[in-house]
Amino acid sequence: MGRGPRVVLLGKQGAGKGTQAARLAEHYGIPHVSTGELLRAAAAAGTEFGKKAEEYMNRGELVPDDVVFGLLAERVAAGDRVENGFVLDGFPRTDTQAIELDRALEGHPLDIAINLDVPTETVLDRIAGRRVCENCGATYHVSLPPKKDWTCDECGGKVVQRADDTEDAVMRRLELYEQETVPIIDYYRKLGKLEVVDGEGDGDDVFKRLVTAVDSRL
């Protein structure tokens, strides 16, 4: 087999990007790079970047670019070769970030940008009930909790509500999504890279739709 696909996964908060990006990464044998996860890990580790990031995240604001770019640079320096493929989840989410990504990928452009499309009413429901593993990031829902006492099925970590899944922070995140991230959907459409995938319904069906979209670009 040749190289893996170079994928950007876009979608509202609660659209299922994290879960589906992890499945795509496994399916294609490519790294899953989530800026949200990188930022939460840095915050938990109490690094300089992390402490700065945490106050923005808890308010639902975007973290400043120097922090996000710094963490991404560290992540890439850790050994993956971008030309061999990746799935980016949560990045880019502003036009500055999209342009910076194009620059960084020079000579190895994206294969596809996917808009994982879910209506706002659905994501509000999903986020209100969402619970995540503090340790590995696995996600659950109050209607579908882990088997034992809010202990992660995957790793035994504690399963909690995300600090930024409060009502105020969620409303702010969705507002910023409309203002800052929706314009880059158009940017990718104009470049001929955009595929819209329906993110509603059964997770396995959504995953099949995603794989079909990615395969159509390889």
Using CB under 6 A, list all residues that contact ligand ADP: 13, 35-36, 39, 56-57, 60-63, 68, 90-91, 93, 97, 164, 173
CA distances from 83 to 3, 30, 79, 94 (A): 8, 11, 12, 23
Identified catalytic residue from 23, 93, 193, 209:
93
Shortest CB 190 distance to ligand ADP, Å: 21
How far apart (Å, rounded) are the C-alpha atoms in residues 132 and 139?
4
Which residues form the interface with Zn ion (CB under 5 A)? 133, 135-136, 138, 152, 154-155, 157
Residue burial 151-187, b: 16+ Cβ < 10 Å; e: rest: ebeeeebebeebebbeeebbebbbebbeebbeebbeb
Dihedral sign, Cα of residue 111, residue 16, residue 189, residue 97: negative
- Tell me the residue nearest to ligand ADP as measured from the CB: 36
Confirm whether 148 is a catalytic residue.
Answer: no
Q: Which is nearer to Zn ion, 51 or 158 (CB)?
A: 158
Confirm whether 17 is a catalytic residue.
Answer: yes
Phi, psi of 102 (to 5 degrees): -55, -40
Dihedral sign, Cα of residue 24, residue 93, residue 116, residue 103: negative
Q: Which does 35 bind (CB under 5 to 8 A by kind): ligand ADP, Zn ion, none?
A: ligand ADP
Shortest CB 8 distance to ligand ADP, Å: 11
Identified catalytic residue from 17, 40, 131, 193:
17
Q: Which does 181 bind (CB under 5 to 8 A by kind): Zn ion, ligand ADP, none?
A: none
Confirm whether 190 is a catalytic residue.
Answer: no
**Secondary structure of residue 206 in the 3-state scheme:** helix
Shortest CB 163 distance to Zn ion, Å: 17
Identified catalytic residue from 23, 40, 173, 193:
173
Which residue, 10, 20, 14, is CA-closest to 210?
20
Q: Where in the sequence numbering do the catalytic residues fall? A: 17, 93, 130, 162, 173
